[in-house]
Structure 1
């Protein structure tokens, strides 16, 4: 199993470690709900160094990125990031990712940990523009410093005015005495903050300085379990749960990052889908009756006909009620529709609601 540069730090802090996407990762420290609220109300730090980082360079780099992704890269300016997804030949999703425009001929692509090898092979296979590709996933570390107090807590570590970095923009600067850190106003929690990318060698020093700077603001380390409950409250898709090689961007509610006036892999298939309409859709739902929905639970109607399946579910720490995402037959995707989640042979009433939940 792979480890991140922070592995020993997590163990020394008493984190519960679990295998995740081929890495040994901290799932929690003091508890999921505690860490969840730390991020919603203050500031928490996540080690997400298991994510992959590819660098793409060359005069035709944008042609490659336009072709492999559904979003329109021509709209991105230097210092800006963009959320996109890569479709396969059938219109399913190979991965969702964030791309960062460093200069006119250099971009960074941040991909999901479980898909690093698959994505790398796919991008290389599509590279008919001789773009220079480099996989730096094993050389880079990534901390997500998230929460409403993140900017204030970290400001002492850099000369860059953190409050002036717009959402989905980034700066490359000195941070905590470490040069060339990518400071990005992005994150997977919906509570503000940013993500910082740097070389593995700086990990120990970076961790110590981040924790020291955040001490007066109540900073705490957080694990992957609270990262999951935080993203789910915001209705963010998780690859492998809510999106996969078998789901199309339109079914997954990702039409907003699917620009059909650009040319990309399987564009015609997805355009046809848009024209004809999809037969199933990813919905958000809240439990009306008591129960906690979990991945792979069946979604049924009042006559026990199968409508679909839960892809993500939890007890929301903020709402104190069961929430989830799942695919259902399009006829049952309308907001306000009553559905049932099969929890241990019992059909438990839920309702289709608009996301985000929080």
Structure 2
């Protein structure tokens, strides 16, 4: 591992498991352990365990924590109930997306904001700046926090066996009844354990937050509970899983040059339910005419378009670019998300994608490509 890269608190665990590492947003992270295809299938059919400790975490506390987040983010956070989570966006003044986030409300005056690894410092700095004038405290807690995800249809059984067996707080009934985008607070090795029913794979699953010094013990607890049902998974299969689920990735389907509506996230912006917030004026005054919009593309065969591939219409005119693409392990054919001219965004429209100099016929389809039954 390069000395310039940040190391996960689970780095030694990954090395012991034979992981192949990659540089991801300045972190040395496992890209795969065996094969990305096997890991992808494990999550769809059983369960996979992921190290997501590269993600950023920011604590926002105080009497006006909710009001500060309402001002700072595109969603209304002050009214979500304790124990719930909300997906939101950090917008620039011009309405562009600086990051997409998950916000957990852990108490009446306590929130946890989870940011993408590449934007962790930006999010912490922006929240600190935007909270000025509010009775709220913003603290970057990412360096001391580990995040482990268990995803897949067997995840509930595995997490329940691990957490209940260790006496970590929540009972079987609490975990079983925990709804999507909900969070429970427990205790692991004498410190707080957060158990959220959230994820980025399109499957049922949990994300568990613990102090970094307890990460290896929590990983071992979960893997012991999972046995042969639980497979360690790297970032390669995480990307194909989220692509099949039609979930945007910052730097691909989201970015400062894109307004939320272009990426299909106009509903995330709380224009009608709250007052002023940073980026509101730009969103309200924006003219979306002619701006590219996000679509799904499906093709036949085995050749898959990759990010950056040009998209043309039936007449050969360039009308967009692929943002993410892969040969879908679950569906067995190429899929992609692309930003295209709105005139070419209608479901069923036939387009052509340039795949390494060869034309790949593709059809516009509705997102997501895959939904669990």
Query: TM-score, normalized by length of structure 2?
Result: 0.92
Aligned partners of 2:87 and 2:268 also within 8 Å:
yes
1:158 counterpart SS class? helix
Aligned partners of 2:124 and 2:139 also within 8 Å:
no
Counterpart in 1 of 2:187?
A: 174
Counterpart in 2 of 1:202?
A: 214
Counterpart in 2 of 1:352?
A: 364
Residue 84 of structure 1 pairs with residue 53 of structure 2? no
Residue 272 of structure 1 pairs with residue 285 of structure 2? yes
- Which range is displaced more, 184-193 or 121-130? 121-130
1:138-153 equivalence runs, <5 A: 138-153=143-158
Looking at structure 1, the residues matched to 162 and 294 of structure 2 have their Cα atoms a distance apart, in angstroms, of: 41
1:317 counterpart SS class? coil
Q: Spell out structure 1 runs of 4+ moving beyond 4 A.
A: 275-278
Counterpart in 2 of 1:329?
A: 341
Aligned partners of 1:290 and 1:348 also within 8 Å:
no
Aligned partners of 1:251 and 1:278 also within 8 Å:
no
The alpha-carbon deviation at position 81 of structure 1 amounts to: 0.4
Aligned partners of 1:71 and 1:85 also within 8 Å:
yes
Structure 2 CA distance for partners of 1:157 and 1:277, relative to 1, 3 Å = same
1:196-345 equivalence runs, <5 A: 196-216=208-228, 218-261=229-272, 262=274, 263-273=276-286, 277=289, 279-288=291-300, 290-345=302-357
Counterpart in 1 of 2:167?
A: none
The alpha-carbon deviation at position 74 of structure 1 amounts to: 3.5
1:23-75 deviation digits (Å, cap 9, x = unpaired): 00000011111000100110110000000000001111111111121112144
Aligned partners of 2:50 and 2:148 also within 8 Å:
yes
- Which range is displaced more, 192-201 or 204-213? 204-213
The alpha-carbon deviation at position 178 of structure 1 amounts to: 5.4
Looking at structure 2, the residues matched to 288 and 214 of structure 1 have their Cα atoms a distance apart, in angstroms, of: 36
Unaligned runs of 5+ in 2: 165-169
1:153-192 equivalence runs, <5 A: 153-159=158-164, 160=170, 161=172, 162-175=175-188, 177=189, 179-192=191-204
Aligned partners of 2:313 and 2:352 also within 8 Å:
yes
What do you get for the CA RMSD once the two structures are aligned?
A: 1.4
The alpha-carbon deviation at position 279 of structure 1 amounts to: 2.4
Residue 55 of structure 1 pairs with residue 55 of structure 2? no
Structure 2 CA distance for partners of 1:340 and 1:290, relative to 1, 3 Å = farther
The alpha-carbon deviation at position 130 of structure 1 amounts to: 4.2
How many equivalent pairs are there?
A: 355
The alpha-carbon deviation at position 289 of structure 1 amounts to: 5.5
Looking at structure 2, the residues matched to 193 and 278 of structure 1 have their Cα atoms a distance apart, in angstroms, of: 38
Aligned partners of 2:72 and 2:131 also within 8 Å:
no
Query: TM-score, normalized by length of structure 1?
Result: 0.96
Looking at structure 2, the residues matched to 104 and 277 of structure 1 have their Cα atoms a distance apart, in angstroms, of: 42
Looking at structure 1, the residues matched to 129 and 78 of structure 2 have their Cα atoms a distance apart, in angstroms, of: 22
Counterpart in 2 of 1:135?
A: 140
Aligned partners of 2:75 and 2:88 also within 8 Å:
yes
Residue 41 of structure 1 pairs with residue 52 of structure 2? no
Looking at structure 2, the residues matched to 351 and 282 of structure 1 have their Cα atoms a distance apart, in angstroms, of: 13
The alpha-carbon deviation at position 308 of structure 1 amounts to: 1.0
